Amino acid sequence: MLTKNQYGVPGLSLKQRIKQKKGDKLNTIYEPFKDEFKNAAFVSIQSIKESLIKNVFLIIITLSIYYSYWYLKKRNNLNRVCPEVRLSSFTPVIVIVFIFFNILLWFLDGFISECVEITGACRSFSGKINYLSFYAELCLAMGQAGLVWESFKVRRILLKITNNSQKISKIFTLILGVPYLQYKINKIKLSK
């Protein structure tokens, strides 16, 4: 029998939970809401499906900025489906910032090198830009490694959703990342 708990939410009372056989904590607590969680997972998975061709096209056109944006765009729904494995917004945001910073430095370096060729001035500033560019590239590489880590988190979420019934390759996750994960997301079929 379901009763309202102290917060007014229908569920098992504390006495009823204690009387139940010991089992999985999540199943004991969330048993009354099992269908609601299943529906939430279905809705969340449906909302993160998108065209693979569109995905690859946007990654190429945006100079891989979309690669980072994809994690930000899908993060809330994936976190809702599997709260045990949380996706971070920090890594994708940092990568996007460093991509823009690198693009700015490339333009600035090109402008200064033209200025040096024409006037012979700004030589010391050109060297400083090269050092800045090196460190920005290094930070961007570390951010890309963080995105690989996020890819493997998404892989774990997909495995939990499908109860390990879908094969998701570690090698393809490492090499292809977002397009491969989007392909696997599109193949998930959950019933309401």
Question: What residue ranges do the domains of the chain occupy?
Answer: 1-48, 50-187
Return d(Cα 148, Cα 63) in angstroms, integer: 17
CB 181 within 8 A of CB 151: yes
Q: Chain centroid to CA 68: how far? A: 8
pLDDT in tens, the chain (192 residues): 455 544 444 555 555 555 554 444 545 444 554 555 555 666 677 788 999 999 999 999 998 899 999 999 999 988 888 888 999 999 999 999 999 988 888 888 777 777 666 666 666 666 777 778 888 889 889 999 999 999 999 999 999 888 888 899 999 999 999 999 999 999 988 665
Return d(Cα 87, Cα 77) in angstroms, integer: 10
User: Using alpha carbons only, what angle is made at residue 43 by residues 41 and 44, rounded to the nearest 5 degrees?
Assistant: 65
Per-residue b/e over 43-60, b at no fewer than 16 CB within 10 Å? ebbeebeeeeeebbebbe
Per-residue b/e over 82-118, b at no fewer than 16 CB within 10 Å? beebebbeebbebbbebbebbeebeeeeeebeeeeee
Return d(Cα 10, Cα 164) in angstroms, integer: 31
